[in-house]
Structure 1
Amino acid sequence: MGKGSRDDRISALPDDILVNILDRLNVPDAARTSILSRRWSQLSGKLSRLIINAQDFLPKGVSNANVSDDEMVRVNAAAVEAIKSIVTRRSPGEHTIRFLSTAFYLRDDVPISIGQAVGHTMETHSVEISQFSVMTGKVGTDELNDEELAICGREFMRFFDACQNAFGGLTSLDMEDLRFGESDISNVLITCKRLKHLRMMNCDSGDPSTLQIEHAHLSELSITGCSFEQVKLNWLPQLTQMTFDDWIDYQDPLVLGHVPLLETVSLTNVGYSFHKLVKLSEFLSSTSIRVLKLGFKSEKIWVQPECLTKSLASVFCQLRFVNLVALPEGYDLTWTMFILEAAPLLKELCMAVWDHACIMETDEKTRKEEFYSENRGVEWDSSIADFKHHNLVTLIIYCFESDDYMVSYLRRVMAAAINLEDVFLYSRLECDNCQDQKPIRFPWTKRQRISLKKRVTAGIESFAIIHACSTIRDAHLSKYLYPECSLDVSRKSLRNRQ
């Protein structure tokens, strides 16, 4: 404050800078600035990013995992008021809304009020990106029964029917815990003509059924924990990224039709003892992906290692990055070499080897009753003698331990990847949800690192630098995360317990 001045220095800034600052706040905080002065109240009507999340209105200490029905209704109502408060300050057509995101609970008639307010905004303003995130408040709780799923599904379709103009302008839609009727999903996709991103979590259509998807503009698709017997991507000419987790049937659960631009694929599932192994050459046939993530949830390897064939070479011919998440501990890793043999352009291989209690079924009785596999490994012998890979430059192993099977695998990769530059070895991040007291054999000391390097490089000519890291690099951190667990990533600390 200058002496004798009534204005603070922030208020003296130009409008465009102040709007840029407000755009970085959530809507409740941005709305509070309107009480500062008439000028500030006008600025809130110029925001280019409107992110209204009902969870921002939850009381302190209440999360999505323990929110009550009454609180859902209350915070939904607060979200409606926030939308109306912001929108009424805007002059129709004057300022483009770059990003409009609303997240709310599926309770009573409040979602319809939110949808109608969003629809009105789309009719009176230019909106580039718009998103609905429809929550049930059941994530992290016990699984919903059939009746609850059906009720949630009907409530969603009632909301959809009442807000056709809003859905017609959506570019992103997140849905969870819904049971749809036979033609419901098709009707939603037909109405959402601008849709680019679709996420479905724990959704189904009742009895084992087939989900068929066609859309002209959809570019990202995520299907997680959905009980469809089969998913058919019939015609998605703009699809570039796909996540398919927790399928229920191993007999052709995914059928890829016209997906010419698909380049990033994430597949995660639990392999049970009675499941047949999946051949990626068939699973991903007619594609040439660049990024592949495979998740195993610390259970049986569900991928069938394949000898190099024309179909496998076609699928992996453009592959650049592979990430293997939650591989079971103690099992031979040699089978992953088939990926290197089939992917000559592969540049980075990343893997995490961890029996992580948070994502495993640990009760022995349940494991037997539900046919979890006791032998979680898979065997494979290369048919290519003296195999060499010329493009792999980075190898990342999380949860590394100085056990023979890991050291042996590391030697094999370093011997084959003749241009390998860096090997990053990480121990484990702290997990907030489990009490894993298992000793970790990681080379923390300088002497241990020297010993490890001698074991790995004995008889091998390699210029690769082995990094036994005490902290995870920012570029590597996101590749480690697993959605079912709560990892301490703020400090990026690794567990140092011997």
Structure 2
Amino acid sequence: MGKGNKDDRLSALPDDILVNILDRLNVPQAARTSILSRRWSQLCAKLSRLIISALDFLPEDVSHTNISVDEVVKINAAAAEATESVLARRNPGEHTIHLLSTTFYLRDDVPIFIGNAVGHAMSTHLVENVEFSIRTGKDHVAEIESDDELVTWAREFMLFFDACPNVFGGLTSLDLGNLRFGESGISSVLTTCKRLKHLHLYSCDSGDGSTLQVEHANLSVLCIVNCRLAQVKLNWLPQLTQLAFDGWIDFQDPLVLGHVPLLEAVCLTNVGLSFNKMVKLSTFLSSTSVRDLKLGFCSEMIWVQPECPTESLASVFRQLRFVNLVELPEGYDLTWTMFILEAAPFLKELYMTVWDHVCHMELDEEKRKKLQYSENKGVEWGSTASDFQHHSLVTLVIFGFESEDYFVSYVKRVMAAAVNLEDVFLYSRLELECGNCQDLKPTRFPWTKRQKISLKKRITAGIESFAIIHSNKTIRADHDLKRRHPRCSLV
């Protein structure tokens, strides 16, 4: 502030710029600015993005992962009050709401209260996108005490759903978790939510071994995580572009793709057990042509069956540009991934994370035997022709790299085959951040200059390649973003 100047530079900005700044905040943060002056208080009524989450009302000393029932009741009530208050301040029809997003719990009459407030806003304002993220208070399957609990929550949700049909008819995004519906429950939701574009289901089903059949004219993003389904049939989804399928109970045709002509980004994640049938991607993704593919292995058995180049596999991979292989088990030959290069001639980027992520793994030996985890997690593949060449791959990124022979031989093999490869980025396992566990295993990563020179000689011996090998101490921001949140970032 200049001497004698009562206004700071921020307040001197035009309203549209200040509103743009406030739109990047959640509602509680934006509301706090209203105490600055009358002008700031009026700006809140012009916001185009209203993001109201019960979790934003948690006390600072309370973790999001450890919320008591009393705290849930309090923050849920605060979210309901904030929703009504924020919407009541707006002049009908004056400013478009591009996004109205609310996160709340299935508790008491709060959902219906929020539903009525949102419904009134939809009838009096121009609201382009409406999102509901509905929680039960049990965010992980391990926290669920019984299947009856899932049924009870589903009934609570359906009471809310039946009370606010017009609101659900205007929803564009719906996030549900830990609900066991009746036989036609999910179908009823899809039928009513005609404008729905994004649907995220976590631990939702109609009973163990049930089948989910999906038909919707506008759905573009579908995420199915840890739902105990025998089969998912995507019968007719003409606008679907992104699919995430995480955790299925059987490998006998768990996913059937019908009319999905625009599908281009797919995430598939599962824990492979010893009795499971391996997946052939040519069958799993038949009739599609994806551009972005993410495969997750949860540090357990490789569940993908390497395939020799065939017409059906080539059809599936003909548009493939980006592949991300997540949490491959440590210590196993990586040569099998070469079949992806053989089948995807236009692949440009290959990312992989090799990491035994112990806080996500079952470590108890007795439980592993009982649940039939496989002790041999690798898969063999030896059909790649010695003269095979790939002309499109430009970037190879490996997280969890070690100066072990199986790593070195794999990088050498890719560099020899990918004749236009430009960069190879190698990152240590220690650079993989995890807030829940501490990796104490020793790592063999080339930290010193001498070690890096030695590694480069080992990799390039006997091959010709112009690719630059980067063994960095810190993960580049753009690489970390793609590792954590590639285009198919639904799980």
Same fold, judged at TM 0.5 (above): yes
Matched, 1:156 2:140: no
Q: Is the 8 A contact 2:141 2:203 kept in 1?
A: no
State the one-letter code of the partner of 1:254: L
Q: Structure 1's 331 and 7: CA in aligned 2 closer, same or farther, altered over 3 A?
A: closer
Q: 1:61 maps to which residue?
A: 61
TM-score (norm 2): 0.95
Q: 2:174 maps to which residue?
A: 173
* Equivalent of residue 444 in structure 2, options 437, 441, 444: 441
Q: Please list the CA deviations of residues 79-117 of structure 1 after superposition, one character each: whole Å capped at 9, or x if unmatched.
A: 111112111111101100011110111111101101111
Q: 1:273 maps to which residue?
A: 274
Q: Structure 1's 36 and 383: CA in aligned 2 closer, same or farther, altered over 3 A?
A: closer
For residue 34 of structure 2, give the secondary structure of its aligned residue in structure 1. helix
C-alpha separation in 1, matches of 2:324 and 2:303: 15
C-alpha separation in 2, matches of 1:12 and 1:323: 46
1:265-414 maps to which residues of 2 (within 5 A)?
265-382=266-383, 384-414=385-415
Q: 2:16 maps to which residue?
A: 16
Deviation at residue 128 of structure 1 after TM alignment: 1.2
Q: Is the 8 A contact 2:248 2:270 kept in 1?
A: yes
Matched, 1:44 2:47: no
State the one-letter code of the partner of 2:457: K
State the one-letter code of the partner of 2:203: N
Q: Is the 8 A contact 2:320 2:346 kept in 1?
A: yes
State the one-letter code of the partner of 2:444: R
C-alpha separation in 1, matches of 2:407 and 2:10: 57
C-alpha separation in 1, matches of 2:411 and 2:10: 56
Identical positions, percent: 73
State the one-letter code of the partner of 2:472: C
Q: Please list the CA deviations of residues 293-331 of structure 1 after superposition, one character each: whole Å capped at 9, or x if unmatched.
A: 100000000000011111111111111111100001111
Q: Please list the CA deviations of residues 248-285 of structure 1 after superposition, one character each: whole Å capped at 9, or x if unmatched.
A: 11100000000000010000000000111110000000
C-alpha separation in 1, matches of 2:225 and 2:151: 18
Q: Structure 1's 462 and 79: CA in aligned 2 closer, same or farther, altered over 3 A?
A: same
Q: 2:483 maps to which residue?
A: 480
Q: Is the 8 A contact 2:221 2:241 kept in 1?
A: yes
Q: Which runs of 5+ in 1 are unaligned?
A: 484-498
C-alpha separation in 1, matches of 2:12 and 2:484: 43
Q: 1:493 maps to which residue?
A: none
Q: Structure 1's 45 and 407: CA in aligned 2 closer, same or farther, altered over 3 A?
A: same
State the one-letter code of the partner of 1:340: L
Matched, 1:98 2:98: yes
Q: Is the 8 A contact 2:424 2:467 kept in 1?
A: yes
C-alpha separation in 1, matches of 2:159 and 2:63: 26
Q: 2:460 maps to which residue?
A: 457
C-alpha separation in 1, matches of 2:315 and 2:9: 61
C-alpha separation in 1, matches of 2:425 and 2:7: 53
Matched, 1:71 2:74: no
Deviation at residue 430 of structure 1 after TM alignment: 3.6
C-alpha separation in 1, matches of 2:414 and 2:259: 35
State the one-letter code of the partner of 2:440: Q
C-alpha separation in 1, matches of 2:386 and 2:433: 41
Deviation at residue 361 of structure 1 after TM alignment: 0.7
C-alpha separation in 1, matches of 2:178 and 2:357: 26
Q: 2:489 maps to which residue?
A: none
TM-score (norm 1): 0.94
Q: 1:136 maps to which residue?
A: 136
State the one-letter code of the partner of 1:143: E
Q: 2:474 maps to which residue?
A: 471
For residue 424 of structure 2, give the secondary structure of its aligned residue in structure 1. strand
C-alpha separation in 2, matches of 1:134 and 1:302: 32
C-alpha separation in 2, matches of 1:476 and 1:6: 45
Q: Please list the CA deviations of residues 437-457 of structure 1 after superposition, one character each: whole Å capped at 9, or x if unmatched.
A: 111000011100100011011
Deviation at residue 142 of structure 1 after TM alignment: 2.7
For residue 366 of structure 2, give the secondary structure of its aligned residue in structure 1. helix
Q: Is the 8 A contact 1:425 1:468 kept in 2?
A: yes
Q: Please list the CA deviations of residues 145-197 of structure 1 after superposition, one character each: whole Å capped at 9, or x if unmatched.
A: 20111111111111111111211111111111111111111111111111111
Q: Structure 1's 308 and 43: CA in aligned 2 closer, same or farther, altered over 3 A?
A: same
Q: Is the 8 A contact 1:65 1:141 kept in 2?
A: no
Q: Is the 8 A contact 1:31 1:82 kept in 2?
A: no
For residue 129 of structure 2, give the secondary structure of its aligned residue in structure 1. strand
Q: Is the 8 A contact 1:334 1:380 kept in 2?
A: yes
User: Over the residues paired in the alignment, what is the CA RMSD in angstroms?
Assistant: 1.6
C-alpha separation in 2, matches of 1:92 and 1:329: 58
State the one-letter code of the partner of 1:92: P
C-alpha separation in 2, matches of 1:37 and 1:409: 62
For residue 448 of structure 1, give the secondary structure of its aligned residue in structure 2. helix
State the one-letter code of the partner of 1:455: R
Q: Is the 8 A contact 1:134 1:174 kept in 2?
A: yes
C-alpha separation in 1, matches of 2:191 and 2:224: 18
For residue 143 of structure 2, give the secondary structure of its aligned residue in structure 1. coil
Q: Is the 8 A contact 2:212 2:229 kept in 1?
A: yes
C-alpha separation in 1, matches of 2:331 and 2:245: 27
C-alpha separation in 2, matches of 1:302 and 1:463: 34
Q: 1:88 maps to which residue?
A: 88
Q: Is the 8 A contact 2:338 2:384 kept in 1?
A: no
C-alpha separation in 2, matches of 1:10 and 1:306: 60
C-alpha separation in 1, matches of 2:6 and 2:417: 71
